[in-house]
Amino acid sequence: MEHTTNIITLRGELAQLPEFSHENHGRQFYRFILNVQRLSGAIDALPVVAEDRLLNELDLSGGEMLAVTGQIRSHNVRTETGRRLLIFVFATGLTAEDGDPINDVLLEGPLCREPTYRRTPLGREICDVMLAVPRTFHRADYLPCILWGRTAQEISACHTRDRIRICGRLQSRTYIKQTDDGAVERVAYEISALNAEVIEEY
C-alpha cells in the first residue's frame, strides 16, 4: 500500500449553514464555507464537504468557531467552457472550539508536471507546482501549490515525478476570467507553501 500524506487542520468561523452537496453509496454529504483569518487580517473562504453523520454529532457547546480536520481533495468537472479542477476540504472530524485561527497543511506526492518559475515585477521569486497526492483505490488528488523565495528557486530545479513534501496553508483568491459573456469573478484555491523539500525514495 502506498504511503499517503494529505493532512489539513483548520479553525475558523462558519460563513453559512451547511447545504446538501451529494449522495454517495447511501451516504449524504453537505458543503459549507469556513472563513479562516490570516495574520494579515485577510480572510480565506474555504469550501468544506462533510458527511451528515459528522454534522449530526457536532457539539456546539465548545465555542463559536469550528475546527476541521481532514484532507484536501480535487475533482474534475465539466462546464460549458471546458473542464475545471475543483478544490475542497474533505472533513474527517468536526469540533466546535474557540481559539486562534488555524490553517495547517501537510502534503506529500510526486510532481505531475514541470514546475513554473517566474519573478514578479518587483523581483519576488515564485514557483507554481502541481502535486499528485495519492489516495486509496489507486486515485490521486491534483493540488496546485505556490512557493516563494529561496524555496521557489530550489523546487524549480525539480522535474515531473520528483516527490515533494510541502508544509503550508490552503488559501483562496479571487480573479477575473474573460468569457464569451464578459468578465466573470471566480475563486481559485491553492496551497501556499511555508517550506518544501524533495523526498528521496529508496
Q: Compute the distance between CA of residue 140 and CA of residue 2 in angstroms, rounded to an integer.
A: 11
What are the structural domains of the chain? 5-102 (2.40.50.140), 106-198 (2.40.50.140)
Model pTM score = 0.91
Q: Which of 69, 107, 72 is nearest to 88 (CA)?
A: 72
Q: How many C-alpha atoms does 28 have within 13 Å on its Cβ side?
A: 8
Residue 1 banded pLDDT, cuts 50, 70, 90: very low
Mean pLDDT of the 44-51 span: 97
What single-letter amino acid sits at 111?
A: L
146 in Cβ contact with 190 (< 8 Å): yes
Quote the mean pLDDT of the chain: 92
Mean pLDDT of the 50-76 span: 93
Q: Compute the distance between CA of residue 103 and CA of residue 39 in angstroms, rounded to an integer.
A: 11
Residue 80 banded pLDDT, cuts 50, 70, 90: low
* Best mean pLDDT range from 5-9, 16-20, 133-137: 5-9
167 in Cβ contact with 195 (< 8 Å): yes
